[in-house]
Structure 1
Amino acid sequence: MGVAIRTAGEGDRELVVGLLDAAFQDDPVSRWVFPGDEHRRTTHPRLMAAFTDIVLAEGRVDVTEDGTACALWLPVPEGEHGDEDEAAADGPAELRAEIDPDNERVELIGRLTADVHPAGRAHEYLWMIGVAPDHQGQGLGTALIASVLDRCDREGLSAYLEASSARSRALYERLGFNPVGPALTLPDGPRMWPMWRDPRN
């Protein structure tokens, strides 16, 4: 049975934020950014809301029709890199000021991932994908990603992401992504794996 997918709009904002918050509360990278459980419970949703707003404005958010999973994609044109211009370079600092001013890790994660993001070739950037905890393991994430990868293949576009856990890395490898460059080891924290997928003919 196929998974029905639609493009989210502004009216889906709270749904998407809730999905991402629930899906990433116990993610290794989220736990590193917000190491205190209570602080993470109260502050993590604000970070997910900021990410959602950015992608609703500049990219595309796909959601399953039943509202149990979502994927956030940003198009990166040829020759562009996330931290090339001054406005983008200030983004992590502005995010920290807005979300959690005393937490330098909010800013640091943005700068570190921007530093490893491949430059030059046009690609679709899978920023985040979230599945409601009680619906994980049912193929929803795979369906969300595959729908965009099918388009990438038709249009000759590459795709990129950073896997935040060994489990998600294995999923992405099954979908044709390969590690690009060394793993990113967060200071006193977990690893992330930059991964790239060339279009299939």
Structure 2
Amino acid sequence: MTITVRPATASDVPELARVLGVAFADDPIISWLIPDSRVRPRRAGYMFTTMIRHQFLPGGAVDAAFDETGRMLGAAVWAPPGGRRTSGAAQLRMLPGIVRAFRGRLRAGGEMADQMARHHPTEPHWYLAFIGTHPDARGRGFGHALLAPRLAHCDETGSPAYLESSKSENIAYYERFGFDLTGELNITDGGPPMWPMWRTPR
């Protein structure tokens, strides 16, 4: 099996959103924000569309993974050092999509985002906002193919990397790539936690 990873373009956004929406359908944080499992992948896709198009794609750090048939089966969404914050104008452009995704949970999502921002490291770093693979691709090396090139770049440039794992079972997976657990975040006021992880360049 051949896996191809390339930078995503604006034309990839609908498929990126679809793949990530399905990939995160069982995610504890997304499930907390969008409780109805029947609409969760579609509404999560609205969130991914909005955030990728207006926040992450302009930074040029969104990677997509394809199988040998050209089917997109995974994506990694990064922010480069200093590129995590969005302008006020971009936030306004994002608002309709975020409202469409979270609806009655919009306030909870905003408060969660504020909590994440308060705990975000201030040292310059690459931020892995999302990584996901379609259920059809799990266990087939797509995660490794997506992570390895960007982390190699971190090592070459001496840049740390940071992520928040929303599943405790994924902590050991990220540790294999050099990430270290730094604590536990209660960003949902008693809902599911997140686990921040930091990677020192090798």
- Which of 147-156 and 60-69 deviates more? 60-69
- Structure 1 segments (4+ residues) deviating >3 Å: 81-101, 181-185
Q: CA deviation at 1:83?
A: 6.6
* CA shift in 2, pair 1:65/1:134, >3 Å: closer
Residue 105 of structure 1 corresponds to which residue in structure 2? 108
Residue 46 of structure 2 corresponds to which residue in structure 1? 46
Q: How far, CA to CA, are the matches of 2:152 and 2:58 in structure 1?
A: 23
Q: CA deviation at 1:182?
A: 3.6
Percent pairwise identity: 33
| Residue deviations 1:101-125 (CA, integer Å, cap 9, x gap) | 4312221221121111101x21110
RMSD: 2.7
TM-score (norm 1): 0.84
Residue 76 of structure 2 corresponds to which residue in structure 1? 71
Q: How far, CA to CA, are the matches of 1:111 and 1:91 in structure 2?
A: 18
Q: How far, CA to CA, are the matches of 1:37 and 1:14 in structure 2?
A: 20
SS at match of 1:76: coil
Residue 192 of structure 2 corresponds to which residue in structure 1? 190
Q: How far, CA to CA, are the matches of 2:142 and 2:200 in structure 1?
A: 22
Q: Does 1:115 align with 2:123?
A: no
- Name the amino acid aligned to 1:50: T
- Which of 34-43 and 137-146 deviates more? 34-43
* CA shift in 2, pair 1:65/1:43, >3 Å: closer
Q: CA deviation at 1:142?
A: 1.7
- Which of 27-36 and 150-159 deviates more? 27-36
Q: CA deviation at 1:25?
A: 0.9
Q: CA deviation at 1:128?
A: 0.3
* CA shift in 2, pair 1:143/1:17, >3 Å: same
- Name the amino acid aligned to 2:118: D
| Residue deviations 1:65-113 (CA, integer Å, cap 9, x gap) | 3311110010123xxx957987799899777446434312221221121
SS at match of 1:194: strand
1:1-201 pair list within 5 angstroms: 3-53=3-53, 54-66=55-67, 67-77=72-82, 96-97=98-99, 99-103=101-105, 104-119=107-122, 121-184=123-186, 186-200=188-202
* CA shift in 2, pair 1:32/1:19, >3 Å: same
TM-score (norm 2): 0.84
Is 1:116–1:194's contact at 8 Å kept on the other side of the alignment? no
Q: How far, CA to CA, are the matches of 1:143 and 1:98 in structure 2?
A: 32
Is 2:24–2:30's contact at 8 Å kept on the other side of the alignment? yes
Is 1:82–1:88's contact at 8 Å kept on the other side of the alignment? no
* CA shift in 2, pair 1:83/1:61, >3 Å: closer
SS at match of 1:176: coil
| Residue deviations 1:112-170 (CA, integer Å, cap 9, x gap) | 21111101x21110010110111111121122111111010011000000001012222
- Name the amino acid aligned to 1:57: P
SS at match of 1:36: coil
